[in-house]
Amino acid sequence: MRKITVIGTGYVGLVTGTCLANLGHEVTCVDIDEERIDALNDGHCPFHEPGLLSLIKSNLLEKRLRFTTILKKAVHHAEAIFIAVGTPENEDGSADLSYVKSAVQNLSPYINDGTLIIIKSTVPPGTNQKVREWMQSDSGRTFHVVSNPEFLREGSALHDFFYGDRIVIGSTDNNAGRFLEDIYSKINTPFLQTDPLSAEMIKYASNAFLATKISFINEISSVCGDLGADIEQVAQGMGMDSRIGEQFLRAGIGFGGSCFPKDTKALVQVAQETGHPFKLLSAVMDVNERQKNLLIDKALKRYGSLKGKHVAVLGLAFKPNTDDIRESPGISLIKRLQKLGSIPIAYDPVVKNIPYCAVNNSIHEVLSGADFAMICTEWPSISDLPLDVYENTMKEAVLFDGRNCYAREDFEGRTIEYHSVGRQPYEGLITNKQSIKFKLL
């Protein structure tokens, strides 16, 4: 068992600290947000992540996990300190390291000789060396700085921590690297020991590649839509190639969240600083921004004007199993709908309040009387919704599906007009009260 401190109780810090405690370590998480710390000590989780709340409560009960705002108390006896503060983007897209710098400078006077400083925050290559310099000027003690990027997916963070694909450790000291391996020793996950620069680059390169894969399939979906091909079948055929793989080949209305957009833009800035314009990633971001407008473009083509239209927006989180709305396509869609004079009302099973429009807990009430509906997040309560609900509750059963939740054959004999991504739209036409004609547009 090791005495560990985690600085920062945001998404990465709280998940990391809680999971390390569950491995048997004595963990203290520290944050300057007193309200958040009080809530955590009372057994409340500040965000939605499946399974995390119960893990927090059980480790609090076992006294392996503590939360405090007192930095000196948190780091004075720590053998290892994880830096897990935010690195938001600057106006130019680069990473803002001010929180990292503040954290390491503040803890410097209190650390013991030989303390291991572990950078868990997502940072650009070269940050490990900067941390050494920031701490060296403020501390006469010896210490080691190791880069240990996180690969936690929102919605499945606990699984990713305990059963991840790899644990990357970037260090210039073999003993420091082995010490961190010992902290993770109860996890049956492969270790990759690298130099710090490479470890930092692995994180950015991984997220940028996945973002590229998403934008690529979205570009293919646009071509499929124009040609009449089916993007679902195309993606299935591509994914069967072991060199490509099926993951991240779901066409939709773009990626969001706190990682892919921010890290991709940051890598573009890193490349520019080295004199290399990363044109591919710039195009990836351009495609993603355009994709967020896809459903509205389809609606404008269908209606001409959206002014006064009552729109049911289904899904606000950028992906299922999280309440994170950062860079969410659903939020972008709502803002544009309002600019076009529409009246959006939203449903999400977890996100309950946003400053942009009304949110209703009932998907049936959101759909009731709507002129059309737009699916932005493939929550099960949305993707599994019977088509009868659209037909029986909406003013007119017109559905714009930004996540391709339904199969084409689901609409046979239905009166729903259905628009999806990378597939030909369908319109259900009622020719008379007794007969229904199903038409391919």
What would the pLDDT profile of 330-341 be if each residue is shown by its tens digit?
999 999 999 999
Contact 95, 17 (CB under 8 A): no
The structure tokens listed for 133 are 């310099």
Q: pLDDT band for 136, please (50, 70, 90 cuts).
A: confident
Whether 180 shows a pLDDT value over 90: the answer reads yes
Burial of 209 (0-12, 13-18, 19+ CB in 10 A): middle
**Run of H or E residues at 271:** helix 260-273
Which positions are annotated as active-site residues?
259
Whether 440 shows a pLDDT value over 80: the answer reads no
> Which is more confidently placed, 193 or 426?
193
For residue 34, the 8-state DSSP code is H
Cα–Cα distance between 339 and 295 in angstroms, integer?
A: 15
Burial of 216 (0-12, 13-18, 19+ CB in 10 A): middle
Q: What is the mean pLDDT of residues 429-435?
A: 38
Per residue in 366-420, pLDDT tens? 999 999 999 999 999 999 999 999 999 999 999 999 999 999 889 988 999 999 9
Whether 432 shows a pLDDT value over 60: the answer reads no
* pLDDT of the residue at 135: 87
The structure tokens listed for 9 are 């109780």
Annotated binding residues for substrate: 151-154, 203, 248-252, 256, 319
> Which is more confidently placed, 72 or 429?
72
Q: pLDDT band for 101, please (50, 70, 90 cuts).
A: very high
* pLDDT of the residue at 137: 61
Contact 415, 352 (CB under 8 A): no
Whether 92 shows a pLDDT value over 60: the answer reads yes
% of the chain at pLDDT higher than 70: 96
Residue 434 has a CB neighbour count (10 Å cut-off) of 6
Cα–Cα distance between 349 and 314 in angstroms, integer?
A: 10
AA letter at 402: G
The structure tokens listed for 139 are 């501390």
Q: pLDDT band for 151, please (50, 70, 90 cuts).
A: very high
Beta strand extents in 266-382 (DSSP E only)? 310-314, 343-347, 358-359, 372-375
Q: What is the mean pLDDT of residues 64-69?
A: 97
The domains found in the chain, sorted by start residue, are 3-194 (3.40.50.720), 203-290 (1.10.1040.10), 293-440 (3.40.50.720)
Whether 434 shows a pLDDT value over 60: the answer reads no
AA letter at 368: S
Contact 65, 41 (CB under 8 A): no
> What angle do the packed helices 260-273 and 196-227 form, to 10 degrees?
120
Please give the C-alpha separations between residue 145 and each of 71, 139, 270, in angstroms, as whole numbers. Answer: 19, 13, 21
AA letter at 355: P
Alpha carbon of residue 142 to chain centroid:
36
**Three-state DSSP state, 420:** coil
% of the chain at pLDDT higher than 90: 90
DSSP-assigned states of every residue in 219-251: HHHHHHHHHT--HHHHHHHHHTSTTT-STT---
Contact 380, 403 (CB under 8 A): no
Give backbone dihedrals phi and psi of 107, rounded to 5 degrees, phi first: -85, -20
The structure tokens listed for 54 are 């119960």
Contact 419, 399 (CB under 8 A): yes
Cα–Cα distance between 367 and 290 in angstroms, integer?
A: 26
> Strand pairing partners for 162?
none
* pLDDT of the residue at 307: 98
Annotated binding residues for NAD(+): 31, 36, 87, 122, 154, 262, 326
Query: What is the overall mean pLDDT for the chain?
Result: 94
AA letter at 186: K
Lowest-pLDDT range of 104-113, 156-165, 297-306 = 104-113
Annotated binding residues: 31, 36, 87, 122, 151-154, 203, 248-252, 256, 262, 319, 326
